[in-house]
Structure 1
Amino acid sequence: MPIIDSDAHVIETPETWSYLSKAERKFEPMIVTRKTGSEEQALIGRAIREYWVVDNYIMPKDLNVGPEATPAAREMRDIPGRLAHMDALNIDIQVLYPTIFLRPCTTNPEVEYALCRAYNRWLGDIWKQAPDRLRWVAVPPVLSMHKMAEELEFARDNGAVGVMLRGLECDRMLSDPYFYPLYDIASELGLAVCPHSATNSFLMYDLYHDDPGFNKFKLATIGAAHSLMWHGIPEKFPKINWGFVEVSAQWIPYLLNDLGIRLRRRGIDMPDDMLEKNNIFVACQVTDDLDYVLRYSGENTLVIGTDYGHADTATEIDALRKIRDDGRIAPHVIDRILDDNACALYGLG
């Protein structure tokens, strides 16, 4: 039985942007170092020293970097070292998500397309070094929908198993018809659509400038789950598997209770297996009250990840081991979370 880490991360470096074309070099993100002024604190209490500058917008580079992995492993400069660490953690497959794209980077379609294209080709080359163990989700150029099919087809052909979206994309809810072409393409290619704890709205990001991430990242993504089901988007695109990642699973009972009330007021009965019926999966955390959550989610919809490479509230490098050793839930349910459900979400077969 393979053990699948459904949410691991890569940390981008200048190597990521080496995949920009010659004409796109002018868009390459720049690294700057703080030498003066008051310090900003990273998530684990040390000072932030490096920042990305993307399209004249500055963001911390080392805000959310965990100490459990070596820099070379988390930056994918040492693939054998990454695989050896996975072996030590008893992980067979990691599904890789980005870091820099978890916050808004640009509103310029040309810049966004160049960065997404470079990132996806970097990940494609990483996959080729360990195709049975390192899978990934593509970053779509949402401001260039006319280029979406070509980009996602490349990703699918080079090891991608999904498409990452943020809770808000280009200041739109994920239920907006604007995204229907993306969903059509994902359906045709067999790629999961995976809203990750993140936002791609400068308005919301700046509004919550001093928020630690709960409002601007996590609630945006949980709200996307509600909006998608409320508007019947999974029913419109029944071939898509939806994965809500890095927002824990503790919200499922509250969301389904609220959604059920609203649907009943419209004369619609919500099925008990609402998540499973809509091909919706949720990445849980070992800190979740899983006995309670499972009463609402069912056994076939939860997956789990380590958040490898990061240092936020979702990070637990030993999550896959701890959920098995915890003893709170039945072994067959744990097997589903670690294997069957993750395989179903990402089409790992």
Structure 2
Amino acid sequence: MEPLTRFISADDHVIEHPRVWTDRLSRRRWGDRIPHIERDGDGSDYWLIDGRKMPLLGSGSAAALMPDRAEPRKWEEMPPAAYQPPERLKLMDTSGVERSVLYPSVAGVGGETFAPIEDPELERDCVRAYNDWLIEEWAAAAPRFVPQCIVPTSSVAVAADEIRRAVAAGHRGVVFPPAIDQLRNAPHINEPSWDLLWSVCEELQVPICFHAGSLSMLELAPYEQYSSEIKAALHDIARPACSIGFLSNLLMSRILERHPRLTVIFGEISLGWVNFVIETVEHNVRQFGAGKVKFEVEPRELLKAQCRFISWYDDTSLQAVCNQFGADCVLWAWNFPNAMSEYPEAPKLNEAHFRNLGLEARSK
């Protein structure tokens, strides 16, 4: 079978440079509350966001470009391809990546960083600055970059307004934290008040994207005595599984039934748990909901029609999900420049991952 040489990556990350917000927010109005970088006493850098410290080490991964895949601790150590579009394009060429769908880093892999800001106008301005920067510096650099907006969360109406503004500017998807009620005083995502958000995404024909790892409180904390490398590995192992509860809730919540034109993308989640979720949901509906829980569309069909899952290293689970739900449900990710990215070996490794798929599934 002829090897695949060109790929569309459904999940890569930009690393926001130090001037993203300082160049776009009013210093006179917001002062030091504007997201900016400062240097700690140990020589490492951190982001300061409305008084909250975020270590550079934990606000975005560029380890795929670093020696021994160790994360940079100072901004000067950040590889140019992590934050400069022309340098990123060069590595996309050598890796066979034709298109790259972009997710945030400092702004939160799920767009969650600014949600705890209590001042709704500061949160809105931080969100808008990121969205404008992504269009101005990345989308404008090449059509091969596919921008996705983040949204303010102070109210559903404000979120919907920003989605409209951002999509009009060129954004092609919406990145949203899956458990917004755990980030701020907001309604649970199942509440009908959020229907406006889903409806706007349907109307504008943009997917809503939930990225693994946006809520660390859903994960088991690693043992304190572990090395930083082992802690990072455990984090990367655990965070895809955190999507189990969210997908289960989504299938049971009637959100997808009420919004049949809504497409939901699960970012950086791998695939091994997807069949588990649908089988468990179906079993529990039968056991505990027989005669009481009625779906106009069965959960399995909702998943198949409206959910997409991003994979990059899966082998046996890739084949299993394709067999169960079809290859249209699976998207491939370069996951660059994260430590888990298979850069620079992605084209070769993809041949191994895709080896058991038929030609049609491989081409998708």
TM-score range, shorter chain: 0.7 to 0.9
Q: Structure 1 residue 148 and structure 2 residue 163: aligned? A: no
Please name the residue that 1:91 is paired with.
97
Structure 1 position 68 matched with structure 2 position 65 = yes
1:232 and 2:243 aligned: no
Of 335, 342, 351 in structure 2, the residue corresponding to residue 307 of structure 1 is 335
Which stretch shifts more, 292-301 or 50-59? 292-301
What aligned pairs does 1:334-349 form with structure 2 within 5 A after superposition? 334-336=362-364
Once the 2 structures are TM-superposed, how far is the Cα of residue 243 of structure 1 from its aligned partner? 0.4
CA deviations 1:172-214 (Å, max 9, x no partner) are 653333422211211121110010013358xx27984867436
Aligned partner of 1:223 in structure 2 is 245
> Partner of 1:44 in structure 2?
none
Give secondary structure in 2 for the equivalent of 1:213: helix
Where 1:166 maps in the other structure, the secondary structure is coil
Gap regions ≥5 residues in structure 1: 37-47, 337-349
CA contact (8 A) 1:168 1:220 kept: no
Question: Once the two structures are superposed, what CA deviation does each residue of 1:117-170 show, in whole Å capped at 9, x if it has no partner?
Answer: 110010111244235211121111112433223311222123211111223224
- Contact 2:12–2:334, Cα closer than 8 Å, also in 1: yes
Deviation at residue 276 of structure 1 after TM alignment = 1.8
Match of 1:281 in 2: 308
Match of 2:202 in 1: 187
Superposition pairs of residues 92-241 of structure 1, within 5 angstroms: 92-100=98-106, 101-102=108-109, 104-105=113-114, 106-108=116-118, 109-171=120-182, 173-200=188-215, 204=217, 208=221, 212-213=234-235, 217-241=239-263
Instruction: Give the root-mean-square deviation of aligned CA atoms.
Output: 2.8
After TM superposition, the score normalised by the length of structure 2 is: 0.78
Q: Summarize the Cα distance change of 1:249–1:110 in structure 2 as closer, same or farther, 3 Å threshold.
A: same
Match of residue 298 from structure 1? 326
Q: Which among 14, 19, 24 is matched to residue 19 of structure 1?
A: 24
Relative to 1, partners in 2 of residues 1:302 and 1:182: Cα closer, same or farther, differing over 3 Å? same
Q: Does the CA-based 8 Å contact 1:167-1:198 persist in structure 2?
A: no
Q: Relative to 1, partners in 2 of residues 1:224 and 1:239: Cα closer, same or farther, differing over 3 Å?
A: same
Identity of aligned residues (%): 24
> For the pair shown, which has the larger CA radius of gyration, 1 or 2?
2
Counterpart code for 1:6 = A
Whether the 8 Å CA contact 1:174–1:227 is kept in 2: the answer is no
1:325 to 1:199, Cα distance in 2 relative to 1, 3 A: closer
Distance in 2 between residues matched to 1:285 and 1:234, nearest whole Å: 26
- Please, which runs of 5 or more residues in structure 2 have no aligned partner? 67-77, 225-230
Q: What's the counterpart of residue 330 of structure 1?
A: 358
